A and B are shown apart, each in its own frame.
Chain A
Amino acid sequence: MINSKNKNIYRILFSFFFFLMFIFVGANFTRAEIIFEDSFDASPDWESHESTPGNNVNWFSSSWIYNPSGPPEPPMQNWTSYRTEIPLSNTVKRYVLNEEGKRGASGKGITYNVESKGTWSGGGLDLYLGNIGYQEIFVRFYLRYDPATWVWAWRDTGFNGEKQKLIRISRLKDEPTTQTSWNPQLFGTLAEGGHQMPVLYPDAKENNGVGYNTPSVNGKYGLYLEYTKRYDPEYGTESPFEIRTFPMPSLGLKNFVPPTSGTDASIDYYKTDGDWHSYEFRVKMNSAPGVADGEWEAWIDGGENPAQHTLQTGVAWVSNGGSVTPGWNWFTVLDNVNTATGLPNGTIMKVHMDDFVVSTSYIGPNYVIGVVDTAAPAVPSGLIVE
């Protein structure tokens, strides 16, 4: 028998259950498919500062938007922070947001002015997504290596070949907005605090093997992507580099001679194709520490060429002793470049970036920022069954 007192209890329980359902469903609604997107078109023109006295690299906390007193050298609109090396030539700013970097007929984009130095050069633009993060996340952006200034090169002695960290996809483990004692821009070793783990670095890299060219020779490419994975909490204890013969868009003109006086003629140069190409990456955290069911995936130009898509399963991003929460919540794009080019020091090479999108599902090269296609596509026609 259900008396009136029990009925009230049931009503209260039902209401509470309904309230919880509402909260959870509401939380899912707030997690829209697109997490972040920036075409840069609506942003004010911006350029990085490389003038902090006493620092050869300008970074946290001068550009950090959570700096309690306000960042003296703020990042571009919508972004979290940046770091940049002081240029050798000091004739250009490392990162510039203006019309020069646009993809398409109008708008704006980012120009990354890389200097040839024969060693590491650069910085990075940071985006932090909060201290909850996402267990699975996709990021897509467009890059264009300027054919008038950019060359990829390799020499067989002295340097390891040119490479660029296209992006670092990582998890900042600790709440950064209130602290002042550590630097969230350090992709840290344990000695540095280990706050940024795990990390996936997709690197655009030249092939160190002799005689490779693009398109493939013996399944190898002159320009390709390689991957570095850093795990949590055992930073660097596993082999960090994973070489994948994953061809980069390029003309692959081996022995191309750059139009720069003082060029080292003993070096093999590869020329870029000068087109915009879409780069998309996916990372999925493992389900529990020590369980090897995490993943990462990459597409160039949507994987239209099957060779430009790769998937790795069975990744234990977080090992025993770590935690799979928070999820992925940090990107550093247009990161360091090892400019082992043999071009005269200070030679500027430009790469442009535009249309940066973060999502909980596959984005693809055709997704257009600001144009949400809310209509269902047309019904396919002409179906034939044989």
Chain B
Amino acid sequence: MKKRFLIFGIVLVLILLFWQIFLRDLKVTGSAKLSWNPSNESDIIKYNVYYGKTKRANNCPGGGYEKKVDAGKEPLYEIENLENNQTYYFSVTSVNSSGKESCFSEEMSKTIKISFFDKLKSIFFKK
């Protein structure tokens, strides 16, 4: 019986140590993969992706998001380094060769959830 308690205690201590050393302050970030329909206008030169932690205030650029990235010509983009347990809001615009930018697409959201397994993976398979 004593032996069992001893083993249980050692395992518990090891788990607590592991948590303390590797996981407690571990900041693991998530990502969001965006895709949208390609424009059928011939003079579209790129897309912009807007995102942030709050919903946009307006339907067109200038009233919106905390961040903007140039997504290039392809209708897909991956945003990395998003905080765990945080909800992000996303929209896309298109830009033509005259420099005109469309208003925002529909707004989509994603709450970043990083599982315990993902945290473990991040310890051993750091990017």
Interface residues, chain A, with chain B CB atoms under 8 Å away = 33, 361-364, 366-368, 372-386
Q: Indicate whether B36 reaches chain A with its CB closer than 8 angstroms.
A: yes
Closest 7 CB pairs of A and B: A382-B37, A380-B105, A385-B108, A373-B98, A376-B100, A386-B33, A377-B94
- Indicate which residue in B42, B45, B101 contacts A376 across the interface (CB closer than 8 Å): B101
Do residues B32 and A377 form an inter-chain contact, with CB atoms below 8 A?
no
Interface centre among A366, A380, A383, A385 (most CB of B within 10 A): A380
CA of A124 to CA of B105, assembled, Å? 48
- Chain B residue with the shortest CB-CB distance to A373: B98
Do residues A383 and B97 form an inter-chain contact, with CB atoms below 8 A?
no
What chain A residues lie within 8 Å of B36 (beta carbons)?
Answer: 380-384
Minimum distance in angstroms from B68 CB to a CB of chain A = 14
Interface centre among A361, A362, A363, A385 (most CB of B within 10 A): A385
- Indicate which residue in B45, B75, B110 contacts A364 across the interface (CB closer than 8 Å): B45
Interface residue SS majority, chain A: loop
Do residues A367 and B43 form an inter-chain contact, with CB atoms below 8 A?
yes
- Indicate which residue in A367, A374, A383, A386 contacts B92 across the interface (CB closer than 8 Å): A383
Interface residues, chain B, with chain A CB atoms under 8 Å away = 32-37, 39, 41-45, 47, 75, 90-106, 108-110
Asked if A380 meets B39 with Cβ closer than 8 Å, knowing A362-B45, A364-B45, the reply is: yes
Do residues A377 and B39 form an inter-chain contact, with CB atoms below 8 A?
yes
Do residues A361 and B92 form an inter-chain contact, with CB atoms below 8 A?
no
Do residues B100 and A374 form an inter-chain contact, with CB atoms below 8 A?
yes
Do residues A376 and B106 form an inter-chain contact, with CB atoms below 8 A?
no
Do residues B110 and A378 form an inter-chain contact, with CB atoms below 8 A?
no
Do residues B32 and A385 form an inter-chain contact, with CB atoms below 8 A?
yes
- Chain B residue with the shortest CB-CB distance to A33: B99
Asked if A377 meets B95 with Cβ closer than 8 Å, knowing A382-B36, A384-B35, A385-B108, the reply is: yes
Minimum distance in angstroms from A306 CB to a CB of chain B = 11
Minimum distance in angstroms from A282 CB to a CB of chain B = 14
Do residues B37 and A377 form an inter-chain contact, with CB atoms below 8 A?
no
- Chain B residue with the shortest CB-CB distance to A375: B100
Asked if A376 meets B110 with Cβ closer than 8 Å, knowing A363-B97, A383-B92, the reply is: no
What chain B residues lie within 8 Å of A366 (beta carbons)?
Answer: 42-43, 45, 97
- Chain A residue with the shortest CB-CB distance to B40: A378
- Chain A residue with the shortest CB-CB distance to B75: A380
What chain B residues lie within 8 Å of A380 (beta carbons)?
Answer: 36-37, 39, 47, 75, 92-94, 102, 105
CA of A380 to CA of B90, assembled, Å? 12
Do residues B102 and A377 form an inter-chain contact, with CB atoms below 8 A?
yes
CA of A381 to CA of B36, assembled, Å? 6
CA of A377 to CA of B101, assembled, Å? 6
Do residues B96 and A377 form an inter-chain contact, with CB atoms below 8 A?
yes
Q: List 30 A-B residue pairs with CB atoms under 8 Å apart, sorted by A's residue number.
A: A33-B98, A361-B99, A363-B97, A364-B45, A364-B97, A366-B45, A367-B43, A373-B98, A373-B100, A377-B39, A377-B43, A377-B95, A378-B39, A378-B41, A379-B94, A379-B102, A379-B103, A379-B104, A380-B37, A381-B37, A381-B105, A381-B106, A383-B34, A383-B90, A383-B91, A383-B105, A383-B108, A384-B108, A385-B108, A386-B110
- For the complex with contacts A364-B45, A385-B109, 5 further pairs of A-B residues with Cβ separation under 8 Å are A374-B100, A377-B102, A379-B103, A382-B37, A383-B91
